[in-house]
Chains A and B, each alone.
Chain A
Amino acid sequence: MARGETARRTAVGLAMAPALWIGIGLARDGLGANPVEELVHRTGRAALLLLLASLSVSPLGRAWGRPQLRPARRLLGLAALGWAALHAGITALLDLGLDPGAALEELRERPHMAAGAAALALLIPLGATSHGAAMRWLGRRWKALHRMVYVAASLAVLHVGLQGKLGTRQAAPFAAALALLLAVRLPPVRRRLTRR
């Protein structure tokens, strides 16, 4: 279907957009005075935004009466996982120097790091079971398993909320978006938004 193709292309574009965003930053000023920090921030934001985008596919599809948007949901989710893995990898390599002791200490002592790691740990099995074969194999349990995406997204928002600079509310827009995406899934709201 042509419509499904458009959705897929849009999703691929969104998935790659952070690369462009990072590339422009590199070209303009080398990502500033602290490029590692900037890279961690941009990949982290990319991961969370793509995760939220993935969660908005189903409600949009329902509202527009276009269930064929589904492939976009999977693509965006996988992209979120990819950017989150890169984000965590850069942190592990350049902030923690691949030192397992330092990493453990961070996880134990910094709630925001534990929340981020938990979010990533949840996203990995979701990514691994996102293809058709796993869906068929898991049957009804697939749906239950993939409900964990809400937990992962909540943990990711918590991860941002707990690290913020005092006086700034950088997690607020993410938290608002997530709350909205959860709200439209409440059965009464959902019924109302669905177009047949």
Chain B
Amino acid sequence: MSRADALRGRARRPTGPDAGKATGPAEDRVTPPELVLGRRRLLAAAAGLALGCGPSGSVEEARSASTTEAKAFPVPVLRPSPFDTGEPPTSRRDATRYNNFYEFGPDKRDPARRAHILRTRPWTLRVDGEVHRPRTIDLDLLLRRYPAEERIYRLRCVEAWSMVIPWIGFPLARLLEECRPTSHARYVAFESLLDPEQMPAQHTDLLPWPYREGLRLDEAMHPLVILATGMYGEVLPPQNGAPLRLVVPWKYGFKSIKSVVRIRLTRRQPPTTWNQRAPREYGFFANVNPEVDHPRWSQRRERRIGELRRRPTLPFNGYAEQVAHLYRGMDLRRFF
């Protein structure tokens, strides 16, 4: 029995409330060797840190942990998720050097070049608005409270490129449920950190800052939606939205807001950054849809990073079976 198997054998709990009934696209999942290795690394890290996922040390310690080589994720990954795609993950190198994070500049190489100055500890998340139990939670507390799991998801950027990323995180629904949404809550609004000292492009008017995103409450509660704190078996690198980012795999990447500091439940549809910036080009829903083109380019095909030619884009980024019911009866051309 490999150590990775041993790790899985010690699974503390099922993957999520819907793990049993989910019919994910991953029935024929084969764990790529890279990932098994990744899990071994994790196991070693978990053993080394022992109860490292317990109360964190001082702020200083946490800060240094995010900047030194010690990037091993303290929470073991327990088992493959039924939502995992069976596709091979994009190389970690590519996933950490090519992405959009406008707070650090509009070029897709800017985040990897500049985001290292982001301080990810101490970090607090505020959850408020239409909830019975608003709260401000320290990130390390959050990590302890919601056990992390691995989710290997496709990521489709609105710019027609895509990746497959092994995220580590927990379902957003867990957090939202605990905050007990009121009967008026219909939407969830998210906000990124606003701090031009750490996010240099916030000195410019590239976008209205802070970056904002939103989901309908039923979308936000869907078991596919996670708050990610890691990827590739390690702590989330700053350029990918550390220390806490949203992942909504059936929507264009810009919906998956990074470096989240605030989650607010609302009665009305909240304003969202790209929609405000160019309402004709970026809708509130932004579901991946090969039938509805961006005004300046086609959404029918995408380039999977690491591949030469383009491949067809799938409705809802391949998650139609899980999420199409959320939009039954809606005109997806109008609500793009």
Contacts and interface: CB of A to CB of B under 8 A. Distances in A.
A109 B298 contact: yes
Interface of A: 32-34, 36-37, 94-97, 102, 105-106, 109-110, 112, 162-163, 165-168
Given A34-B98, A34-B161, A166 B303 contact: no
A165 B108 CA distance: 11
A34 B308 contact: no
A110 B308 contact: no
Given A34-B161, A36-B303, A162 B296 contact: yes
A112 B296 contact: yes
Contacts of B306: 33
Contacts of A163: 296
B53 interface: no
Contacts of B95: 33
Contact of B277 (A102, A105, A166): A166
A134 to B, nearest CB: 38
Contacts of A166: 277-278, 281
Given A32-B97, A94-B309, A105-B298, A167 B109 contact: no
Interface in B290-317: 293, 296-298, 300-301, 303, 305-306, 308-310
A106 B298 contact: yes
Q: List 5 A-B pairs, minimum CB-CB distance, nearest first.
A: A33-B98, A33-B94, A167-B206, A168-B106, A33-B305
B97 A33 contact: yes
B185 interface: no
Contacts of B277: 166-167
Contact of B207 (A32, A34, A167): A167
A162 B301 CA distance: 20
A36 B94 contact: no
B298 A37 contact: no
A170 to B, nearest CB: 10
Contacts of B300: 102
A162 B296 CA distance: 8
Interface in B155-208: 161, 205-207
Contacts of B106: 165, 167-168
Contact of A97 (B205, B207, B278, B309): B309
Interface in B85-111: 93-95, 97-98, 102, 106, 108-109
A168 B301 CA distance: 24
Nearest to B102: A167
B309 A34 contact: no
Contact of B308 (A33, A36, A102, A105): A36
B163 to A, nearest CB: 9
Contacts of A95: 303, 310
Contacts of B102: 167
Contacts of B305: 33-34
Given A33-B306, A112-B296, 8 more contacts: A33-B94, A33-B97, A95-B310, A97-B310, A102-B301, A109-B298, A110-B298, A167-B205
A94 B308 CA distance: 7
B115 to A, nearest CB: 16
24 contacts: A33-B93, A33-B95, A33-B306, A34-B98, A34-B161, A36-B303, A37-B303, A94-B308, A94-B309, A102-B298, A102-B300, A106-B298, A109-B293, A109-B298, A110-B296, A110-B297, A110-B298, A112-B296, A162-B296, A163-B296, A165-B106, A166-B277, A167-B106, A167-B205
A141 B174 CA distance: 75
Q: Which residue, of B102, B106, B306, has the highest number of chain A Cβ atoms within 10 A?
A: B106
A168 B206 CA distance: 8
A94 B277 CA distance: 31
B131 to A, nearest CB: 34
Contact of B98 (A32, A97, A109, A110): A32
Contacts of A106: 298
Nearest to B204: A167
